[in-house]
Structure 1
Amino acid sequence: MRIDHLAIWVLDLESMRTFYETYFGATSNDTYRNARTGFSSYFLSFDSGARLELMQMPGIPYSQNDPFEQALGLIHFAISVGSEAAVDALTERLRADGYAVVGEPRRTGDGYYESVVLDPEQNRIEITA
């Protein structure tokens, strides 16, 4: 078994698609639109085969989670960039482009080298080696 994809409700479908294409090398399918419900989505594919679904629909409420605090439930997902140098470089690129770095590059107790950033809609992403 394998996880096929994760999904995120978003406010700005286009800017979120552009963010993951620009910084993480995702490739997007054509937008899917359901005119009856107002639902729209993109599936973003990564070289590893993992996919991220970005979804938008009127009436979806804002998350009650604070992106700077930990809470029960799904809190982050990790994207491996292949090396410690790549973690450092991408973290600095995102910082320079105005994105929040909420966890500086570091070696964790379980052996990962990672940083934590927020995407344009405040979802936590671990960037790992």
Structure 2
Amino acid sequence: MKIEHVAIWVKDIENMKTFYVTYFNGKANSKYHNKDKQFESYFLTFDDGARLELMRKFGIDKKDQDDRIGWAHIAISLGSKESVDQMTERLQNDGYRLVNGPRVTGDGYYESVIEDPEGNLLELTV
């Protein structure tokens, strides 16, 4: 099995695209826009082939709703503890909120958790 892509609803699609391109070297396709459905999206492709779809639909303005079940976080492997530390520091210095870490978790992972521009959790790990 292979996960083809992960999708996330966003408020500010351009800001979110810039975030994932700038910090994680995502390559964006041309924006898809369906005027009838008031829907737009980008697919971002990362160095290892993983893809993230950023989606925006007018009228969906809440990051989360009580009755919506969604992803808890997206985990991004950076390859080393040093890379986790460096990216965590870079994101913090640029004003993104550190939720926790860097730390070794109870099950042995080295990670930090950062919020992206819309408060979605990114787990940065080895």
Q: What TM-score do you get using the length of structure 1 for normalisation?
A: 0.91
Mean CA deviation greater in 55-64 or 118-127: 55-64
Confirm or deny that 1:78 pairs with 2:75: yes
Partner in structure 2 of residue 103 of structure 1? 100
- Structure 2 unaligned segments of length 5 or more: list them: none
Partner in structure 1 of residue 46 of structure 2? 46
Q: Alpha carbon RMSD of aligned pairs, Å?
A: 1.2
Partner in structure 1 of residue 109 of structure 2? 112
In 2, Cα distance between the equivalents of 1:20 and 1:73? 20
In 2, Cα distance between the equivalents of 1:50 and 1:29? 14
Could you report, residue by residue, the CA deviation over 1:71-118 in whole angstroms, capped at 9, with x for unpaired residues?
x65211100111100000000000000000001101112221110000
Could you report, residue by residue, the CA deviation over 1:9-46 in whole angstroms, capped at 9, with x for unpaired residues?
11100000000011111111110011111100000111
Confirm or deny that 1:123 pairs with 2:123: no
How many percent of aligned residue pairs carry the same amino acid?
57
Which stretches of structure 1, 4 residues or longer, exceed 2 Å deviation after superposition?
Answer: none
Aligned residues: 123
CA apart distance, 1:61: 4.4
8 Å Cα contact 2:11/2:61 also seen in 1:
no
Q: How does 1:57-68 map to 2 (within 5 A)?
A: 57-62=57-62, 63-64=64-65
Confirm or deny that 1:8 pairs with 2:27: no
- Structure 1 unaligned segments of length 5 or more: list them: 66-71
In 1, Cα distance between the equivalents of 2:90 and 2:18? 15
